[in-house]
Protein backbone atom coordinates (compact mmCIF):
# COMPACT_ATOMS: atom_id res chain seq x y z
CA UNK A 1 0.00 0.00 0.00
CA UNK A 2 2.91 2.32 0.69
CA UNK A 3 4.15 1.92 -2.87
CA UNK A 4 0.77 2.94 -4.25
CA UNK A 5 0.77 6.15 -2.24
CA UNK A 6 4.32 6.94 -3.38
CA UNK A 7 3.35 6.55 -7.04
CA UNK A 8 0.33 8.82 -6.57
CA UNK A 9 2.50 11.58 -5.14
CA UNK A 10 5.09 11.03 -7.86
CA UNK A 11 2.37 11.27 -10.49
CA UNK A 12 1.03 14.51 -9.00
CA UNK A 13 4.53 15.98 -8.83
CA UNK A 14 5.25 15.05 -12.45
CA UNK A 15 1.92 16.51 -13.54
CA UNK A 16 2.69 19.82 -11.83
CA UNK A 17 6.18 19.94 -13.37
CA UNK A 18 4.71 19.32 -16.84
CA UNK A 19 2.08 22.03 -16.35
CA UNK A 20 4.85 24.50 -15.53
CA UNK A 21 6.30 23.85 -19.01
CA UNK A 22 3.06 24.76 -20.77
CA UNK A 23 2.99 28.07 -22.62
CA UNK A 24 -0.37 29.48 -21.60
CA UNK A 25 -2.34 31.85 -23.82
CA UNK A 26 -2.76 35.45 -22.84
CA UNK A 27 -6.25 36.70 -22.12
CA UNK A 28 -6.25 38.56 -25.44
CA UNK A 29 -5.20 35.47 -27.41
CA UNK A 30 -7.81 33.33 -25.67
CA UNK A 31 -10.55 35.89 -26.39
CA UNK A 32 -9.49 36.18 -30.04
CA UNK A 33 -9.40 32.42 -30.58
CA UNK A 34 -12.75 31.99 -28.81
CA UNK A 35 -14.28 34.63 -31.08
CA UNK A 36 -12.74 32.94 -34.12
CA UNK A 37 -14.15 29.53 -33.15
CA UNK A 38 -17.61 31.03 -32.59
CA UNK A 39 -17.44 32.85 -35.93
CA UNK A 40 -16.47 29.71 -37.84
CA UNK A 41 -19.13 27.64 -36.04
CA UNK A 42 -21.85 30.18 -36.86
CA UNK A 43 -20.71 30.45 -40.49
CA UNK A 44 -20.65 26.65 -40.84
CA UNK A 45 -24.12 26.43 -39.27
CA UNK A 46 -25.54 29.01 -41.66
CA UNK A 47 -23.89 27.32 -44.65
CA UNK A 48 -25.10 23.84 -43.70
CA UNK A 49 -28.56 25.20 -42.84
CA UNK A 50 -28.80 26.81 -46.29
CA UNK A 51 -27.76 23.58 -47.99
CA UNK A 52 -30.28 21.64 -45.90
CA UNK A 53 -33.03 24.08 -46.76
CA UNK A 54 -32.14 23.88 -50.44
CA UNK A 55 -32.16 20.08 -50.49
CA UNK A 56 -35.42 20.00 -48.51
CA UNK A 57 -37.04 22.34 -51.02
CA UNK A 58 -35.71 20.27 -53.91
CA UNK A 59 -37.02 17.02 -52.42
CA UNK A 60 -40.39 18.64 -51.71
CA UNK A 61 -40.67 19.84 -55.32
CA UNK A 62 -39.57 16.51 -56.81
CA UNK A 63 -41.53 14.09 -54.67
CA UNK A 64 -44.40 16.05 -53.17
CA UNK A 65 -44.98 18.48 -56.04
CA UNK A 66 -45.41 21.64 -53.98
C-alpha–C-alpha distance, residues 38 and 10, integer Å:
39
Residue 41 scores a pLDDT above 60: yes
The structure's pTM equals 0.63
Mean pLDDT of 16-43: 96
Question: What DSSP string describes 1-66?
Answer: -HHHHHHHHHHHHHHHHHHHH--PPPHHHHHHHHHHHHHHHHHHHHHHHHHHHHHHHHHIIIII--
Residues in the chain, overall count: 66
pLDDT of residue 6 exceeding 90, the answer is no
- pLDDT tens-digit profile of 46-66? 999 999 999 999 999 998 876
Amino acid sequence: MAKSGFFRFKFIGETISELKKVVWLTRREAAYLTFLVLLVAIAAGIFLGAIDYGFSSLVDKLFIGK
